[in-house]
Each structure stands twice: as structure tokens, then as C-alpha cells.
Amino acid sequence: MTKISEAMYLGRLPDVRLSFQLLGLHARKADSNWTYPSHEHSMYEIHWMLDGQMNMVVNGQLYSQSAGDLLFIRPGMTHSCTGAGPQGFSYFSVHFSVHDISFCRELNRCRDIYYPADSKLALGLSSSLCTLYDLATEHLSTPLSSSKQMMVHAAVFELLGSLVGHLSQNASVTLSRKEAIAHQIAEHIEDSVRYIHLHGEIRESERTWIQDIAKSLNISPSQINRIFRQVYGTSPRKFLSDTLLNEAQRLLKQTDLNIDHIAMMLAYKTNAHFSRQFKRWTGITPSEFRSHSQQAPAADHPDHIESFSTKILSNNNT
């Protein structure tokens, strides 16, 4: 009789399942009379001064920026800018959106907007911002090679990691018991998606799935739903659907697998079932989504002169 060897975890990191879009990464040199009108957008913006002086008004508050100063502008904030010195100025701007509830929560913990050049956050982001600036200016003259594109990806992950790390320190907020439980629930959900992705099947019904999480955390299913909704603003089931949708979109965008194969990988019995569900989620079919994603992405922000754009969706299930 064959004996099955035993194994144990020596350590584990959570699955990397972060979806975000980087748009309008650009540098600009402007004269002293240059202005940009009041506007807002659905993305986060890092606005980093390279030299000179400028004034930025954010939600009615005036911020004066000099070389090295940084503004972190969140979605929906109204802002406008004007030159503030006689010699003109240069700046570097990064616009990005994040499709991850817990990540956005960390970005929004600290509500500060202005970070002077000698602040920990501005200093902490300067290395990755310099790398992205160099790649953006290089891209103006010559399209980036595949290896340079990967350098963009690496610099962006470094930038976001540093940003969240410094914002969390500034916020000085520890997780409440309710937030800790919600994070555990999210981790269970991600484990379920990981199982689906690896095995192409669903282990249990939705009801059993919720009950299993409740049992492991020693709380009731109703508490599971209530706590998760209070912390994340959505139900566990919706969080699962969004996670599956992100995975479906990644497979449609970044692979040439046929839609039947993708449906099978996500545990749908038929292509038709997957297509109906995908259309309920997005309003379009998987084939329409794939066709649209192959076209050049339209800019979501009006200020895209001298821009370098890329999309990143990372998923690591090893």
C-alpha cells in the first residue's frame, strides 16, 4: 500500500489578485501663464513637481507646489492649476484606477492631499516616480520594448506598495475586530476563487460556502453578511462575483484561449451560461468585451498630451 507523504506550509502569502489601470502617465513643461481649468475624474492622481512653482486648487483649498512636492488627489476631487513663478514649471503626473475594495480602502484611510518634498511619502515615492518618468520620456521617441514594459510594471507595483505603506503609517489606524473579520471573510472568498481557477469546479453551493466560512470563524451566516457589508459596502456574494469577473476579464484580455475554455476554467457548465452571466455583469458578451479590449483604450482624463498609457492586471495563483 502506497503511503501518501505529508507536507505542511512553512509560510504563505495571499494570492496577488490586484486589478488596476494606469492612464495618462505624462510629464509636461509649461510657461508661467499656463493654466488648466477646474475638473474632476474617476481616477487617483499623483502630481509630482519637477521644477518651478505652481498653484493647485483641490476642493477649494489652495496648495502651492515647488520642486519635489507631491499631491495625492483622490477620485471625485475637483482641482485646477496655474503657474506661480516667472520661469514656468515642469511636473510629472500619474493617473490610475484600482478595482480592489481592500486596496482602495487603504488608499482612502488618510485624507491628506499635500506632501512637501522632504516628507516621508514624497521621498519614499521618488525612486519609482523617477523610473517611470525616465520610461515615459523614452517612450515619446521610441516605443518601449517588452523588457521596458515589464520595468514599467515593476515600477508601478513598487509605487503603489510604497504609497499604501506610507499612507497607512500616516493614518495611524489599527484594524477593528469587525474589519479583521471582514478581511478573513475576503481571504476565504479568494481561496474559493483560487480553487475554482485551479480545479475548474465549485466545491459547494452558495449556502454551504457561506456556512463553512461562518463555521470557521465561529460566527453566524447572518453576521458574515452583515459584517462584510458594513466594512466593504457590498455582500460576500457580490465580492465573489466581482472577483470572478476580474478573472474572466483578465483571461479574455491577456490570453488567446477560446471562450469555451475560459468558461470551463471558471466552472461554468456551458459557454452559453458563462456568456449570459458575463453580460449580466457588464452589459456585453465575452466576445464583444474581447473585441473592445483589443482596440486602443480611450483616455478617461482630458489632460493626455505627452502621455504614456498601460493597463496591468496581475493574478498569481501558484
φ, ψ of residue 289 to 5 degrees: the values are -60, -45
pLDDT of residue 199: 61
**75 and 97 together in one domain:** yes
Whether 26 is covered by a domain: the verdict is yes
Q: What CATH number does residue 247 fall under?
A: 1.10.10.60
pLDDT of residue 308: 41
pLDDT of residue 17: 56
**187 and 151 together in one domain:** no
Whether 28 is covered by a domain: the verdict is yes
Using DSSP bridges, classify how beta strands 61-66 and 44-58 pair: parallel, antiparallel or unpaired: antiparallel
**194 and 258 together in one domain:** yes
**113 and 185 together in one domain:** no
Whether 95 is covered by a domain: the verdict is yes
Q: How many domains does the chain have?
A: 2
Decide: 271 and 263 in contact? Cβ < 8 Å.
Answer: yes
Helices (H) and strands (E) in the chain, counts: 10, 9
**191 and 158 together in one domain:** no
pLDDT of residue 125: 95
- Domain end, chosen from 168, 192, 211, is at 168
Whether pTM exceeds 0.95: no
pLDDT of residue 171: 52
pLDDT of residue 297: 44
φ, ψ of residue 168 to 5 degrees: the values are -65, -40
> Mean pLDDT by 10-residue block, N- to C-terminus, for the chain (318 residues)?
63 62 81 89 89 94 96 90 90 84 74 93 94 89 88 89 81 66 82 68 56 86 88 82 83 87 85 90 91 60 38 36
159: containing domain? 19-168
- Domain end, chosen from 138, 168, 198, is at 168
Whether 10 is covered by a domain: the verdict is no
